[in-house]
């Protein structure tokens, strides 16, 4: 058998991209990965990593969520600390800042592990200031680096590997984790130092929440005028009112489809972070304040677990609901 051609590797499991962006063969190994947070976003991301043949250790507060991952080849860990002992690169995708802090800095958290190298990639949407603080504490305790890498694209994007990933951290660390992020997202952008990814995600959520509410309001208006509301996305395509949300979420509102790909409850949490950030930098955000109140109303009236398309419930004409 001849030698492998130049620029290739004879063992794909020993091939990895180095921090210089070049393919290293036989002198590198595939790092063991860890994933904590097996919810609606985390679970499909884990499955994509496993489908790529990557070694993944997993942990979840609810052990019932482990089954599909274990069947697909993941290794169960008894705690975040146990997972960190075995995983060089750890991904987290958790519900809020408090959950991230407990998993990372708690008594049985990642920082309690003896492993003194590796990277934590936090894909949750949490406070930028808390991210900076937790990153410093993690490095002080065990030497592990931090990258914030929140995502946009919903469960559909997580399943398809087409997420938009907003990164805060060093370019060197991004070089180390990018081969794995490439399985999860189609657009990966380094926005600056630690915390920059979270700040970018909050700007994203400001745009998403306000746009969603305006689309719902416009649909309510269009419905009352007697227009063919289903025809509007095609009619407006290519114009200044066009957007991905118009093309994909307007039709769902027309059909009263509120099945969650993201939830009102999650957006309420994110808008609180947005408003805290705005207050910290003295930004005027009156539109966001109104949109946040409307989301609070939806949550208070029993729609917390519905999709953002549930905004249309506020504006749809009485008597036009589908049964």
Same-domain check for residues 177 and 209 = no
Let me know whether 63 and 175 are in one domain.
Answer: yes
Q: What is the length of the chain? A: 323
From residue 50, alpha-carbon distances to 43, 101, 191 in Å are 11, 26, 28
Question: What is the domain range of residue 188?
Answer: 31-194
Indicate whether 184 and 55 sit together in one domain.
Answer: yes
Least confident of 70-79, 83-92, 282-291, 311-320: 311-320
**Domain end marker among 162, 194, 226:** 194
Confidence category of residue 162, pLDDT binned at 50, 70, 90:
very high
String of DSSP letters for 140-196? HHH--EEEE--EESHHHHHHHT-EEEEEES-HHHHHHHHHHHTTTEEEEEEEESTTH
Quote the number of domains for the chain: 2
pLDDT of residue 46 exceeding 90 = yes
**DSSP bridge pairs for 163:** 185
Domain boundary among 164, 194, 224: 194
Same domain, 210 and 301: yes
Average pLDDT, the chain: 91
Q: Give a yes or no: residue 21 inside a domain.
A: no
SS3 state of residue 36: strand
Average pLDDT over residues 286-293: 98
pLDDT at 99 over 80: yes
- Whether 188 and 219 map to the same domain: the answer is no
Same domain for 242 and 135, yes or no, is no
Same domain, 40 and 125: yes
Shared-domain flag, residues 97 and 171: yes
* Residue 12 within a domain: no
CATH number of the structural domain spanning residue 238: 1.10.1040.10
Establish if 182 belongs to a structural domain: yes
pLDDT of 244 higher than 60: yes
14 or 101: whose pLDDT is higher? 101
- What is the per-residue pLDDT across 3-35, written as a single tens digit (0 to 9) for each? 444 444 434 433 444 444 444 444 467 899 999
Q: Is residue 167 part of a domain?
A: yes
Does 188 lie in the same domain as 46? Answer: yes
Task: Specify if 24 maps to a domain.
Answer: no
- Residues 145-164 have a mean pLDDT of 97
The answer to whether residue 63 scores a pLDDT higher than 50 is yes
Question: Same domain, yes or no, for 36 and 171?
Answer: yes
Check whether 126 has a pLDDT greater than 70.
yes
The pLDDT assigned to 28 comes to 60
Contact 292, 271 (CB under 8 A): yes
Catalytic residue annotation: 201
Phi, psi torsion values for 58, nearest 5 degrees = -130, 150
Q: Is residue 23 part of a domain?
A: no
Beta strands 151-152 and 163-168 are: antiparallel
- Out of 144, 177, 194, a domain closes at 194
Global pTM reads 0.88
């Amino acid at each position: 058998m001849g030698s492998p051609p130049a620029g290739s590797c004879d063992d794909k499991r020993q091939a990895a991209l180095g921090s210089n962006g070049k393919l290293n063969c036989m002198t590198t190994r595939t790092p063991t990965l860890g994933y904590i947070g097996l919810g609606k976003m985390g679970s499909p991301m884990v499955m994509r990593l496993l489908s790529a043949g990557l070694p993944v250790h997993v942990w979840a507060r609810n052990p019932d969520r482990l089954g599909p991952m274990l069947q697909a080849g993941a290794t169960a860990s008894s705690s975040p600390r146990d997972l960190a002992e075995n995983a060089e690169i750890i991904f987290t995708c958790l519900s809020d800042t408090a959950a991230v802090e407990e998993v990372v800095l708690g008594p049985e958290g990642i920082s309690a592990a003896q492993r003194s190298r590796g990277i934590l990639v936090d894909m949750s949407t949490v406070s930028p200031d808390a991210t900076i603080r937790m990153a410093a504490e993690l490095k002080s305790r065990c030497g592990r680096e931090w990258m914030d890498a929140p995502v946009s694209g919903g469960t559909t994007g997580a399943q398809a590997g087409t997420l938009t990933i907003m990164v805060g951290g060093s370019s060197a660390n991004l070089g180390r984790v990018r081969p794995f992020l490439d399985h999860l997202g189609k657009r990966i952008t380094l926005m600056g130092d630690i915390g920059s990814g979270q700040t970018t995600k909050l700007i994203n959520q400001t745009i998403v929440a306000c746009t969603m509410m305006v689309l719902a309001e416009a649909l309510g208006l269009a419905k009352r005028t007697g227009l063919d509301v289903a025809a509007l996305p095609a009619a407006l395509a290519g114009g200044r009112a066009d957007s991905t949300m118009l093309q994909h979420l307007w039709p769902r509102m027309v059909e009263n489809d509120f099945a969650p790909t993201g939830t009102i409850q999650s957006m309420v949490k994110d808008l609180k972070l947005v408003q805290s950030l705005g207050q910290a930098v003295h930004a005027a955000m009156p539109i966001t304040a109104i949109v946040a109140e409307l989301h609070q109303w939806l949550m208070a009236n029993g729609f917390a677990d519905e999709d953002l398309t549930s905004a249309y419930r506020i504006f749809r004409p009485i008597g036009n609901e589908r049964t």
